[in-house]
Amino acid sequence: MELSILLLGQMLSMMLMILMGFAAVKTKLVKGSQSSVISALTLYIIVPCVVIDSFQIEFSAEKMKGLLLAAGFAVLMHVLFIVVVGLLGKKWNMSPIEKASVIYSNGGNIIIPLVSALLGQEQVFYCCAFIMVQTFFFWTHTVGLIGGRSQISVKKILGNPNVIAIAIGLILFFTNTKLPGVLGDTVSSMGGIVGPVCMLMIGMIMAAADLKSVFLSGRNWLVCAGRLLFCPALMILVLWISKVTVTIPFAKDVLLILFLAIAAPVAATVTQMASLFHNHEEQAGAVNVMSVILSILTMPVMVAFYQKIL
């Protein structure tokens, strides 16, 4: 319960940062369209720096086991979400954008600063397993779902800056190599600004949305319920049935980080892909904004359930 209270406090702090970005656009200090510049800087520079810096820790067999456990469960949960949402999507006539919004969470921009603030920079190491797995599914399943199978590209998967950063980080981790002074300080400093920058960007995006119409849509509530409540509840059920948090001593702490990623709002990448393929861009953006706002309440509640049940 203590972690849930800390999480709520951190979420409220992040919301204040979001409101700063929101106010900056509403007061015409900046334009909402400029969020795309911040998004590009975050994707191509800041988050990769966070990922590389998180691997600047001493190699140990326990950390390696934790990384493999997180990656394995990330694969399992993504496959399970794809199958379950695919079946439910037929029943409820869900569009590709709605399905993708339920399946994929923002395990990068939201979770990296959250884990860093709550649990420490070293724990971001385990976020990388989730990012690596989700990046693969983004550029295979999601691209095929939203843009069509012909758009799937191995080159885009391997060329993703987060995948490259993870590859560099793994090499440094396995070889116990530390980045030299100035370079290491630069990477660490760049990674340190990920939280405020991402929150400002989200606020700028929210300022451009019609929040009244966003919250009046029943379909948006359905998608957000699936993303913020159903998916994390399904992971709790899987963990409870498998008893993995009981049989493996470090599993509960490692998988808590994965759980935070799965309980997060809709992935910003879904909105980006909807825009790229001109497939229900407005709904994708609306659901993203709505899920970020609702996650302030849902994430602490779901984490409390995680700690209580497991």
Token pair of 17, please?
């940062």
Identify whether the C-beta of residue 81 lies closer than 8 Å to the C-beta of residue 231: yes
Reading the block at residue 287, the tokens are 């659901």
- 3-state class of 266 per DSSP? strand
Phi, psi of 30 (to 5 degrees): -135, 170
User: Into how many domains does the chain fold?
Assistant: 1
Domain containing 130 equals 2-309
What separation in angstroms does the CA of 281 have from each of 75, 139, 142, 273, 286?
Answer: 27, 18, 15, 8, 9
Integer angstrom CA distances of residue 83 from 72, 90, 99, 102, 301: 17, 11, 11, 12, 26
Neighbours of 239 (CB within 10 A): 22
Question: What CATH number is associated with residue 171?
Answer: 1.20.1530
72-88 as b/e, with b when 16 or more CB fall inside 10 Å?
A: ebbbebbeebbebbeee
With a cut of 70, list the residues of the chain below it in pLDDT: 1, 109, 148-153, 275-276
